[in-house]
Structure 1
Amino acid sequence: MEPPIERIRLSKNAREQLLKLKRATHIENWNILCRWALCKSLAEPTPPSIISIVTDSNIEMTWQVFAGNLSDIFIVALKQRCHNDGLETDKETLATQFRLHLHRGIGYLSGDPHVRKIEDLILLPSKVEN
């Protein structure tokens, strides 16, 4: 499947939030934290707010580095979420929604006072309310 975006760039704010998460969880790889963040946002019932994201940090990765062997799963999950939110699934919409979900998820994870170690990330799915 074709990825929604080839290169992923983050904002300075997202970089600072990821640094906080790296210190708390001891997860060293940006891509792993970004995967958690995307999943956290996709699991939220409301769509992300449409905001302008300035990608002004030095954090950049390819889609392949971000997604690894889970690439198709992330693409399908993003397309399904767009469909559920009444959005098109063209490449531009998918890229925009990916950026919005990624940044929202990073904010959610870094702002969660219960995420203080890697085990707290693992327990997040069991805390999702229906």
Structure 2
Amino acid sequence: MQEPRMPVDHVRLSQPAKDRLSYLKRTTGVTQWNVLCRWALLLSLRDPSTPLVKDIVTDSNVEMSWRTFAGQYGDLYLALLKQRCVAIGEEPNDENIQRVLTVHVHRGIGYLGADKQMATVEGMVGAVVPT
């Protein structure tokens, strides 16, 4: 039996996003792109505003499959992306889901890189877990 096709096949990053994540990999000790990208996505989705950047050039050599990006929580991430599409008045089709994923991962990477607190794993956790 063939697996159902996912609305998102791959996650690709821009060169500036790759550069920022390379720095974060060194400072946090988190060595996997997908883990940092998951944090970035959730940080961005937590912000109810619409990202200012709509088109991102994914020109780096960092690319991962949806399965690698999402891991065992793929259905949850997909539901969050569909919900965001609906919240901004867009149909949750494959193209819109891919675009929302890309802009939110990139905005989240910006959040991770802009806050000095996020340079450590403890700081990253502290930013999202209320004390």
- TM-score with structure 1 setting the length: 0.91
Q: 1:80 to 1:113 in 2, by over 3 A?
A: same
Within 2, Cα distance between the matches of 1:24 and 1:61? Answer: 22
Percent identity over the alignment is: 42
Within 1, Cα distance between the matches of 2:31 and 2:20? Answer: 13
Structure 1, 86-95 or 65-74: larger mean CA deviation: 86-95
Q: Do 1:11 and 1:55's aligned partners in 2 also have CA atoms closer than 8 Å?
A: yes
1:91 corresponds to: 94
Q: Which runs of 4+ in 1 moved over 4 A?
A: none
Matched AA of 1:64: R
Uncovered stretches (5+) of structure 2, i.e. residues with no partner: none
1:52 corresponds to: 55
Match of 1:114, SS state, is helix
Within 1, Cα distance between the matches of 2:52 and 2:6? Answer: 22
1:115 corresponds to: 118
Matched AA of 1:118: V
Two-structure CA RMSD over aligned residues (Å): 1.4
Uncovered stretches (5+) of structure 1, i.e. residues with no partner: none
Equivalent in 44, 57, 81 of residue 78 of structure 1: 81
**Residue 61, structure 1, aligned to residue 81, structure 2:** no
Within 2, Cα distance between the matches of 1:118 and 1:10? Answer: 21
Q: Give the CA deviation at 1:50.
A: 3.9
Give deviations 1:56-115, integer Å, cap 9, x for gaps: 111111000000100000000111111122221111111111101111111111111211
- TM-score with structure 2 setting the length: 0.90
Within 2, Cα distance between the matches of 1:123 and 1:73? Answer: 22
Match of 2:64, SS state, is strand
Within 2, Cα distance between the matches of 1:21 and 1:3? Answer: 29
